[in-house]
Amino acid sequence: MIGAGLAGTEAAWQVAQAGVPVTLVEMRPGRQSPAHHSSEFGELVCSNSFGALSSDRAAGLLQQELRQLGSLVIATADQHAVPAGGALAVDRGRYGAALTASLEQHPLVTVERREQLSLPEPNQITVLASGPLTSEPLAAALRSFTGREACHFFDAASPIVAGESINLSKAFRASRYDKGDADYINCPMDREQYLGFREALLAADQAELKDFEKESASFFEGCLPIEELARRGEDTMRYGPLKPIGLWDPRWGDVTDKEVRRANRAYAVVQLRQEDKDGRLWNLVGFQTNLKWGEQKRVLQLIPGLEAAEFVRFGVMHRNTFLEAPQLLEPSLQFRQRPTLLAAGQITGTEGYAAAVAGGWLAGSNAARLAQGLAPITLPRTTMIGALTHFIAEAPCDGKGKRGGFQPMPANFGLLPELAEPVRDKRRRYGAYRDRALGDLATALGLVTLAT
């Protein structure tokens, strides 16, 4: 296993649990990536949230499938969850330590803390899970092996502030539409404050990109820096991470009174999500940024309630690398030109934490099966995992890695085959997708067990 991120950690665990010895190679802490802050396995670099918990949401369905499959990463996330409304968010410190201990203490897992500079020989079953920040020597070896240039997009991490520095006389606790407990801290803005904040974002200085990053700078639409959103129009942020709908401070009056609601509702709202179990750290939801650190402090302290915010971590931006998977991979995540080499995680072109874990589960399971002389498996297209892996293996791609060709894909219901009987109501339709997916996954698992 090359890489001990979400995918590599899950893959190594699945191999070891199948009774096959595995070596897990991780370059940290000897060499850090531009975005990592620790040497723990499965580090969550951007947000601490795996997305919606509800299984009638795409991210929630993916998590539930992984629970059904016996995922170590999701089980560990469940054990170290922190309040986050309807989302699965974790205490990063406790979660990372627990995940690392699980792998280091497994009798069939050997951990090697070193940088992998080349691809192993074909006779060695290998899972490439080096992630979107693959080091240059390995990336060069991969380009040489595939004969294709890597694709690139940019990703950015949100700042984190100390909870005790948030002014709760201006901010308030609530979840959108009062769903679940009041797990978010919300900083409301009136129109004048919002427009002033947007102008400050537009005028702020950005960190300079490195030369190798300038060559192909393009943003993945699912993780845009907040300043990029501001540039796209006056109201873009208000329809994105700063949307005010469904959020109400009881101090404003009776929410059921239409006149009160019309007079007092916020024009925009910045949300902060709990980062640790004790609620001492909070990240700004949707505030990925590439502003210089001094500029981040100056501009973000314009947000009502954050005037005296103490920043534990500033936002960062970095280049992400991913394969032209449709040209290279099978739905089993094996390379077409070398079946003993598999890939997993964001380097395959899936987007999101749970999707990386899913790729790790499939690649690890298939690596174990190859070692045992068994045929590799794929999962049904009606499951979210199966839909994602079939998509990245079969999506249209220009074969040149240019923008407009193959781009990273998050879990979404649009990937799933249509239902046999159409359902008009969206919530019921998503529920039907879920029921079919979990049922088909259970059937597939039974077939795999019998084959084994």
Cis (ω within 30 of 0) for the bond into 34? no
Digit-coded pLDDT (tens) for 268-322: 999 999 887 778 889 999 999 989 999 999 999 999 999 999 998 888 776 677 8
What confidence score (pLDDT) does residue 29 get? 80
Q: Which of 17, 38, 16, 15 is nearest to 28 (CA)?
A: 38
Question: Over its length of 452 residues, how does the chain's per-residue pLDDT go in tens digits?
Answer: 999 999 999 999 999 999 999 999 998 886 766 666 677 998 887 788 999 999 999 999 999 999 999 999 999 999 999 999 889 999 998 999 999 999 999 999 999 999 999 999 999 999 999 987 788 899 889 988 998 765 666 666 789 998 989 999 999 999 998 887 888 999 999 999 999 999 999 999 988 755 444 444 455 555 688 999 999 999 999 999 999 999 999 999 998 898 998 899 999 999 999 887 778 889 999 999 989 999 999 999 999 999 999 998 888 776 677 888 999 999 999 999 999 999 999 999 898 899 999 999 999 999 999 999 999 999 999 999 999 999 999 886 654 444 346 777 888 888 898 899 988 888 899 999 999 999 999 999 886 654 44
Helical pair 58-68 and 353-371, crossing angle rounded to 10 deg = 30
Q: Which residues make Cβ contacts (< 8 Å) with residue 253, sequence separation at least 6? A: 260, 261, 264
Q: Which of 182, 186, 157, 187 is nearest to 83 (CA)?
A: 182
Q: Are 159 and 281 in contact (CB under 8 A)?
A: no
**Secondary structure of 236-261 in HEC code, one letter for each residue:** CHHHCCCCCCCCCCHHHCCCCCHHHH
What domains can you pick out in the chain, each with its CATH number? 6-150+323-451 (3.50.50.60), 157-319 (2.40.30)
**How far is the C-alpha of 375 from the C-alpha of 190, rounded, in Å?**
60
What confidence score (pLDDT) does residue 427 get? 84
What confidence score (pLDDT) does residue 321 get? 77
Residues 142/148/154/157 CA torsion (nearest 10 deg): -20
What confidence score (pLDDT) does residue 32 get? 66
**How far is the C-alpha of 362 from the C-alpha of 357, rounded, in Å?**
9
Digit-coded pLDDT (tens) for 328-382: 999 999 999 999 999 999 999 898 899 999 999 999 999 999 999 999 999 999 9
Q: What is the DSSP code (8-state) at residue 308?
A: T
What confidence score (pLDDT) does residue 448 get? 63
What confidence score (pLDDT) does residue 36 get? 61
What confidence score (pLDDT) does residue 214 get? 47
